[in-house]
Amino acid sequence: MADKKPVPQFVTPYKYAQLCGVSYTAIYGRIERGLIELSEETSMDGTVKRLIDTIKFPPTKLNDYPIEYKGRSKPKNN
């Protein structure tokens, strides 16, 4: 068996989505609902980066439930 690669402590939401196996919009949805917290880090050039702490929120396989569309209902003939 191959060993898993170590995960860095802080990753971008896009990389976190790749690690969890869902789309980045699903991760941003969880961030907006407060299920995942972002930490803001200032880099050497002064820009602020929004990163996810993988120790506090370990990347696991997440279920990305799509909105269920049932289609138009057909009229019933009696």
Q: What is the pTM of this model?
A: 0.68
Q: What is the pLDDT of residues 28-60, one digit of tens each?
A: 988 898 888 999 989 889 899 999 998 898 888
Q: What pLDDT does residue 1 have? A: 46
**Beta strand segments in 1-78, E:** 10-11, 39-42, 48-53
Q: What pLDDT does residue 61 have? A: 72
Q: Give residue 63's identity as a one-letter amino acid code.
A: N
Distance (Å, whole) CA 24 – CA 14: 5
Domain positions in the chain: 10-53
